[in-house]
């Protein structure tokens, strides 16, 4: 059985959907015609100051016309020449106000990103004092035993901003003295390489090494032993390897060097290893590289140093072992002397040290120099300090307050966004040492040598202190950046959108608490791995709307992308918990005369009003999105597992494949942080219950080797209540300050948890589920690749899944639901139908569900099946051409697509023989078609097509390179008497590239935008003569390729400072053979053309509908 599914008054914050129960009637009515708050929204990118009121009006009208619900405005400068609107100028604020007022007129919501660019929060108003900061140091070795007076080198400084933190001294390690006294001779494969610049302790100086297979060599003049390596480069993708040699000719590989990104477009290679002795050391680089600093060290340093000290993000659970230093590589904390009071403001140190060699370290902090990006010159400046409320306030007031005051009384203005964290790290702020002491109860200063890579006291102590440090700094980011930003927005009556993830020092679920609406992110060409924080963070904190930056695309998709190719990407996000799409992206078209026009450079899915499919397939797809989003906000999610992600910082949610074995696809889960675990969970009937009513049957522990006492107390409570706990291995108290009393209490609690019969160490899912009678919520028999989502709203259960295959598939589904009729709701058409063939057994419902390739379905259970004499699943036909449905009176009907003989067995045991013989074969609509090409698409003609032909193969180059909509017309005679007892007629267009709008006998039947291109024409089809009109649309690609045959005369130069005057002044493009204009070039004249047009075969197919008599009345 193939299942064929067949002005606003704006209230402030109406975009926040509630979880109020819907009646069955409301649920179905709102599914067919979703409310405004269910509609997708879009990011609108205004590029490089190219803005106009005329363009904004036209854009926003087009956005409203196709059924989007709102916009979030970005100003971005990325490889596009400038327009005339300067960021944060009076004219800019006028543009923002115009956009907001137009949104109010059109019934759209409005908001904007908090700064120029998309990452993260900064601008020219941020001073170095209010910027992101990093700890820096300088060091030297001196001899003690006498009065000492010396000038300490000021540590590395940016923007002339530096403040001291402390000066420390300790007896020098033997390896430090080796490093201090042995300086190698440096050569390279590039004769122009300036080796002196990579050993000057200054990251602002650099030298580029060019050529094929570049290398840098270090000659110590004698055998020398090293155990650590550091290199800083200006690069994103390069790699490096370390080699040794005794003769400078023959080299042996030591290892590939560990790398990590510390700031935007910068890699640090920081690694330690077993001692390696050689005269020559060589670094082989994978590509031309700009090198800033290199250091080969005899001292054994901390592993994964940069992420451990907060200058790079590696999640706590993925940090490698800190290392196994020998005693001679560890600083005794009792030997550390604080000399801070002996240095004056100019860095002159006067003191007396005991006899011996001493390492003196001067610690301070500077700005990390990071700026918001990609931004305009006028909107670019330092990123604000993420640990400081004062810095956040200075940023907020400089732009947002100004914009909000300008928008007073404009009700569409509702939200501000902070995009994903892409500005790398900071690890210091004013008085951080005092803040740390207040939060953790001990002095951080004596442990500052950890930040240079040295071990203090022991490896375990070093690890514990740095863990405490990352926890404090993550908390500061959560509270003072995200939390305070939301507080400021709320004071202005606004809500916040946050993307609570990225490469910053953040605990993602903690950040999710601070947002009004969380956003994930998914790309068509990447595995979905950036939605976990938004989904779980929203669920555990009771935020019903879970948004996503949707369909963000790489350049290869460009203008080729269309709704049909992207649908299942969105479906995949839906089954993982997203229920609002924030489209990426809509480019503001400031010039209203060109097409396809402005782009976000080469990035993003082209959700543009200038796109060929915007007003047809686009509108239909957006309706699909709204239907799905509405359904996926009903009730609460149903999941079996609650994963506690541990307390180590930084942390993030886990995914199925983070476990071994993987969490089965048929088992759903959420992640939880310590806040909700301790404060937001109650235990009822051996289940964990959130405040919103969502329940979980098992607590899973991941990254829980070190926990706080409060957390283990909660886990103890959960275990003693009989809730299964999985993943409990060895657990120790977290942090540096652990008293013997705390340790004893902790160990007792852990022992009692381990002794419970439902506590498990390994993730043996099948064994755990069986032992605890946990049944699969939705089992796809013989299909372990399927994933789904399930929502429950009081007495209504809603499942959603989609066919991952491109061909028709039959799914044998077993739902953990009993006594209710399964209904199939089609989000493409809005059609709902009740299945008449299923089985209830052992508290479950089994049904066969046939889905076309990439088709999706909501399966809804809301109505009792007690009085229904449905067809037994075991004995009825399992046939894609036959299905049994229940009509509005719950009477059984057979829908057959072809002749056949069947024996039907009912639930009651009664049997019925069916013999269908009189159904006609499909009717082929053959012969010539009249095809009209439209002037708006640069070719006006009406031509006969003797047969359906692909436009790209047409001899007429105007058709070959045509992009847009063409109208196919045909008149045909149809004799209903020859089709037998047919109750339904289906028009099948065959192959279409890419979308078709069908009009039969003057009646518009809608747009078909995804295969199969079929539609019910029963009501419109007439006996005798019929007039068929099909409006077929393809992509921009072919036209853009065609225009590449001609020289450009538009004056556009991507490298220019400004856009051409005609573009800025909103005038038409200079006349030439080219009729298109776009700011990103994806094609040349030899690029491959795409299939286009109506290709058929076009047929009318018959369906027979029979009311079955043998059933309970």
Considering the domain boundaries, does residue 101 fall inside one? yes
Residues 402-454: tens digit of each pLDDT:
999 999 999 999 999 999 999 889 999 999 999 999 999 999 999 999 999 99
For residues 575 and 508, membership in a common domain is answered with yes
The model's confidence at residue 899, banded by pLDDT at 50, 70 and 90, is: confident
Rounded mean pLDDT, 816-837: 98
CA proximity to 144, closest of 351, 328, 446, 348: 351
**920 with 979: CB under 8 angstroms?**
yes
Residue 978 has pLDDT above 60, yes or no: yes
Rounded mean pLDDT, 811-834: 98
For residues 238 and 356, membership in a common domain is answered with no
Considering the domain boundaries, does residue 308 fall inside one? no
**170 with 331: CB under 8 angstroms?**
yes
Rounded mean pLDDT, 31-42: 98
For residues 262 and 376, membership in a common domain is answered with no
Give me the number of domains the chain comprises.
6
Residues 362-411: tens digit of each pLDDT:
999 999 999 999 999 999 999 999 999 999 999 999 999 999 999 999 99
Rounded mean pLDDT, 762-788: 97
Considering the domain boundaries, does residue 4 fall inside one? no
For residues 615 and 644, membership in a common domain is answered with no
Q: Which domain holds residue 517?
A: 39-125+372-421+499-631
Considering the domain boundaries, does residue 1078 fall inside one? no
Rounded mean pLDDT, 268-283: 96
Residue 504 has pLDDT above 50, yes or no: yes
For residues 725 and 758, membership in a common domain is answered with yes
Residue 264: the pLDDT is 59
Rounded mean pLDDT, 838-862: 97
**How far from the centroid of its chain's Cα atoms is residue 107's Cα?**
28
Q: Which residues contact 720 (CB under 8 A, 6 or more apart)?
A: 752, 756
The model's confidence at residue 919, banded by pLDDT at 50, 70 and 90, is: confident
Considering the domain boundaries, does residue 142 fall inside one? yes
Q: What is the DSSP string of 777-825?
A: SEEETT-TT---EEEEETTEEEEEEE--SSS-EEEEEEES--SEEEEEE
Residue 1111: the pLDDT is 47
For residues 596 and 519, membership in a common domain is answered with yes
Answer with the residue of higher pLDDT: 540 or 1108.
Answer: 540
Q: What is the DSSP string of 465-507?
A: HHHHHHHHHHHHIIIIIIIHHHHHHHHTT-EEEE---BSSS--
Residues 424-433: tens digit of each pLDDT:
899 999 999 9
Considering the domain boundaries, does residue 34 fall inside one? no
For residues 613 and 702, membership in a common domain is answered with no
Considering the domain boundaries, does residue 315 fall inside one? no
Residue 196 has pLDDT above 90, yes or no: yes
**136 with 365: CB under 8 angstroms?**
yes
The model's confidence at residue 977, banded by pLDDT at 50, 70 and 90, is: confident
Residue 878: the pLDDT is 65
For residues 82 and 222, membership in a common domain is answered with no
Q: Is 745 exposed, middle or buried (0-12, 13-18, 19+ CB in 10 A)?
A: middle
- Domain final residue, candidates 444, 476, 494: 494
Residue 976 has pLDDT above 70, yes or no: yes
For residues 664 and 750, membership in a common domain is answered with yes
The model's confidence at residue 910, banded by pLDDT at 50, 70 and 90, is: confident
Considering the domain boundaries, does residue 17 fall inside one? no
- Domain final residue, candidates 771, 792, 818: 771
Residue where the block lists tokens 């964990």: 688
- Domain final residue, candidates 883, 917, 951: 917
Q: Percentage of residues in the chain with pLDDT exceeding 70? A: 96
Residue 875 has pLDDT above 70, yes or no: no
Residue 904: the pLDDT is 84
The model's confidence at residue 877, banded by pLDDT at 50, 70 and 90, is: low
Residue 1110 has pLDDT above 70, yes or no: no
Residues 1038-1078: tens digit of each pLDDT:
999 999 999 999 999 999 999 999 999 999 999 999 999 99
Q: What is the CATH number of the domain that holds 865?
A: 2.60.40.1180
Residues 199-239: tens digit of each pLDDT:
998 989 999 999 999 999 999 999 999 999 999 998 878 89
Residue 5: the pLDDT is 26
pTM, to two decimals: 0.95
pLDDT, mean over the chain: 95
Give CA angle at 1049 (1043, 1050), nearest 5°: 95
Q: What is the CATH number of the domain that holds 381?
A: 3.20.20.80
Q: Is 827 helix (H, G, I), strand (E, B) or coil?
A: coil
Alpha carbons 1009 and 600: distance in angstroms, whole number: 25
Residue 1085 has pLDDT above 80, yes or no: yes
Residue 1074: the pLDDT is 98
Residue 14 has pLDDT above 70, yes or no: no
Q: Which residues contact 889 (CB under 8 A, 6 or more apart)?
A: none
Q: What is the CATH number of the domain that holds 226?
A: 2.60.120.260
Residue 1108: the pLDDT is 86
For residues 613 and 526, membership in a common domain is answered with yes
Residues 538-563: tens digit of each pLDDT:
999 999 999 999 999 999 999 999 99
For residues 414 and 556, membership in a common domain is answered with yes
Residues 789-822: tens digit of each pLDDT:
999 999 999 999 999 999 999 999 999 999 999 9
Lowest mean pLDDT among 22-31, 241-250, 297-306, 725-734: 22-31
For residues 513 and 588, membership in a common domain is answered with yes
């Amino acid at each position: 059985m193939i299942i064929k599914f067949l002005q606003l008054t704006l209230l402030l914050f109406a975009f926040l959907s509630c979880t109020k129960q819907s009646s069955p009637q409301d649920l179905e009515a709102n599914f067919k015609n979703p409310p405004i708050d269910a509609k997708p929204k879009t990011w609108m990118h205004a590029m490089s100051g190219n803005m106009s009121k005329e363009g904004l009006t036209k854009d926003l009208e087009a956005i409203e016309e196709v059924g989007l619900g709102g916009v979030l405005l970005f100003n971005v400068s990325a490889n596009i020449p400038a327009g005339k609107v300067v960021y944060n100028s009076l004219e800019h604020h006028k543009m923002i106000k115009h956009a907001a007022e137009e949104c109010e007129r059109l019934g759209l919501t409005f908001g904007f990103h908090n700064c120029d660019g998309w990452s993260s929060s900064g601008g020219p108003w941020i001073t170095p004092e209010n910027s992101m900061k990093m700890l820096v140091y300088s060091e030297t070795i001196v001899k003690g035993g006498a009065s000492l007076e010396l000038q300490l080198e000021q540590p590395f400084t940016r923007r002339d901003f530096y403040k001291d933190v402390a000066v420390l001294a300790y007896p020098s390690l033997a390896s430090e003295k080796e490093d201090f006294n042995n300086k190698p001779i440096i050569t390279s494969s590039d004769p122009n390489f300036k080796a002196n610049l990579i050993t000057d302790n200054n990251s602002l100086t650099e030298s580029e090494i060019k050529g094929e297979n570049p290398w840098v060599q270090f000659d110590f003049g004698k055998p020398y032993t090293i155990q650590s390596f550091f290199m800083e480069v200006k690069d994103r993708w390069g790699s490096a390897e370390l080699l040794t040699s005794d003769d400078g000719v023959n080299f042996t590989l030591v290892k590939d060097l560990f790398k990590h990104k510390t700031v935007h477009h910068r890699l640090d290679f920081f690694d330690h290893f077993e001692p390696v002795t050689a005269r020559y050391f060589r670094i082989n680089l994978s590509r031309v590289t700009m090198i800033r600093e290199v250091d080969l060290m005899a001292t054994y340093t901390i592993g994964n140093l940069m992420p451990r000290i907060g200058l790079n993000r590696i999640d706590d659970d993925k940090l490698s072992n800190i290392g196994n230093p020998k005693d001679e590589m560890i600083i005794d904390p009792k030997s550390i002397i604080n000399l801070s009071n002996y240095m004056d403001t100019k860095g002159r140190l006067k003191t007396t040290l005991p006899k011996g060699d001493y390492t003196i370290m001067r610690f301070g902090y500077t700005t990390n120099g990071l700026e918001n990006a990609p931004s305009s010159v006028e909107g670019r400046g330092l990123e604000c300090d993420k640990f400081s409320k004062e810095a956040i306030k200075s940023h907020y007031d400089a732009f947002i307050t100004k914009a909000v005051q300008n928008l007073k009384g404009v009700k569409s203005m509702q939200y501000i966004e902070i995009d994903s964290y892409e500005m790398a790290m900071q690890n210091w702020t004013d008085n951080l040492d005092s803040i740390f002491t207040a939060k953790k109860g001990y002095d951080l200063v004596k442990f500052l040598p950890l930040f240079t890579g040295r071990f203090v006291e022991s490896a375990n102590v070093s690890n514990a202190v740095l863990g405490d440090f990352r926890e404090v700094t993550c908390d500061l980011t959560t509270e003072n950046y995200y939390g305070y930003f939301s507080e400021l927005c709320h004071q202005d009556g606004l809500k916040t959108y946050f993307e609570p993830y990225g490469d910053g020092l953040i605990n993602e679920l903690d950040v999710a608490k601070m947002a009004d609406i969380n956003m994930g992110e998914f790309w068509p060409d990447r595995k979905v791995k950036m939605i976990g924080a938004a989904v779980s963070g929203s669920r555990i904190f009771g935020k019903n709307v879970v948004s996503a930056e949707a369909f963000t695309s790489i350049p290869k998709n460009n203008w080729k992308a269309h709704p049909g190719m992207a649908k299942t990407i969105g479906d995949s996000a839906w089954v993982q918990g997203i229920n609002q799409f924030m489209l990426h992206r809509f480019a503001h078209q400031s010039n209203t005369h060109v097409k396809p026009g402005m782009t976000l450079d080469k990035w993003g899915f082209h959700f543009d009003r200038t796109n060929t499919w915007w007003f047809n397939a686009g509108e239909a797809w957006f309706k699909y999105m709204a239907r799905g989003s509405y359904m996926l906000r009903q009730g609460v999610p149903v999941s079996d597992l609650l994963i506690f992600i541990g307390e180590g910082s930084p942390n993030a949610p886990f995914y199925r494949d983070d476990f071994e074995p993987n969490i089965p696809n048929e088992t759903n889960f959420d992640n939880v942080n310590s806040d909700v675990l301790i404060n937001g969970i109650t235990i009822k009937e051996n289940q964990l219950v959130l405040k919103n009513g969502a329940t979980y049957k098992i607590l899973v522990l991941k990254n829980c080797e070190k926990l706080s006492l409060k957390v283990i107390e909660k886990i103890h409570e959960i275990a003693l209540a009989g809730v299964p706990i999985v993943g409990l291995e060895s657990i120790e108290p977290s942090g540096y300050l652990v008293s013997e009393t705390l340790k004893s209490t902790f160990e007792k609690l852990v022992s009692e948890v381990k002794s419970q019969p439902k506590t498990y160490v390994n993730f043996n899912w099948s064994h755990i589920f069986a032992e605890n009678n946990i049944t699969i919520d939705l089992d796809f028999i013989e299909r372990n690749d399927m994933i789904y989502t399930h929502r429950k709203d009081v007495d209504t259960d809603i499942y959603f899944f989609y066919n991952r295959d491109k061909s028709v598939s039959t799914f044998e589904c077993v739902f953990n639901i009993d006594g209710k009729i399964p209904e199939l709701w089609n989000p493409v058409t809005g059609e709902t139908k009740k299945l008449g063939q299923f089985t209830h057994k052992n508290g479950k419902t089994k049904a066969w569900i046939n889905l076309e390739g990439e088709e999706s379905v909501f399966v809804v259970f809301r109505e009792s099946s007690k009085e229904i004499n449905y067809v037994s699943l075991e004995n009825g036909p399992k046939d894609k051409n036959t299905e049994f449905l229940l009509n509005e009176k719950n009477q059984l009907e057979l829908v057959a697509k072809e002749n056949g003989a069947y024996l039907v067995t009912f639930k009651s045991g009664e049997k019925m023989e069916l013999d269908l013989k009189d159904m006609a074969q499909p009717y082929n609509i053959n012969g010539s078609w009249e095809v009209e090409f439209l002037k708006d698409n640069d070719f006006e003609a009406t031509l006969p097509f003797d047969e359906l032909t692909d436009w790209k193969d047409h001899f007429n180059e105007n058709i070959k390179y045509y992009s847009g909509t063409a109208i196919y017309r045909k008149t045909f005679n149809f004799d209903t008497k020859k089709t037998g007892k047919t109750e339904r007629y289906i028009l099948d267009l065959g192959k279409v590239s890419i979308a078709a709008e069908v009009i039969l006998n003057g009646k518009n039947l809608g747009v078909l935008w995804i295969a199969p291109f079929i539609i019910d024409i029963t009501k419109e089809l007439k006996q005798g003569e019929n007039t068929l009109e099909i409006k077929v649309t393809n992509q921009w690609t072919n036209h853009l390729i065609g225009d590449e045959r001609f020289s450009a005369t538009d004056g556009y130069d991507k490298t220019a400072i400004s856009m051409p005057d005609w573009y800025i002044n909103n005038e038409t493009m200079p006349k030439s053979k080219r009729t298109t204009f776009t700011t990103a070039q994806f094609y040349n004249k030899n690029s491959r053309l795409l299939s286009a047009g109506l290709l058929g075969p076009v047929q009318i197919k018959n369906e027979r509908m029979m009311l079955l008599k043998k059933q309970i009345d």
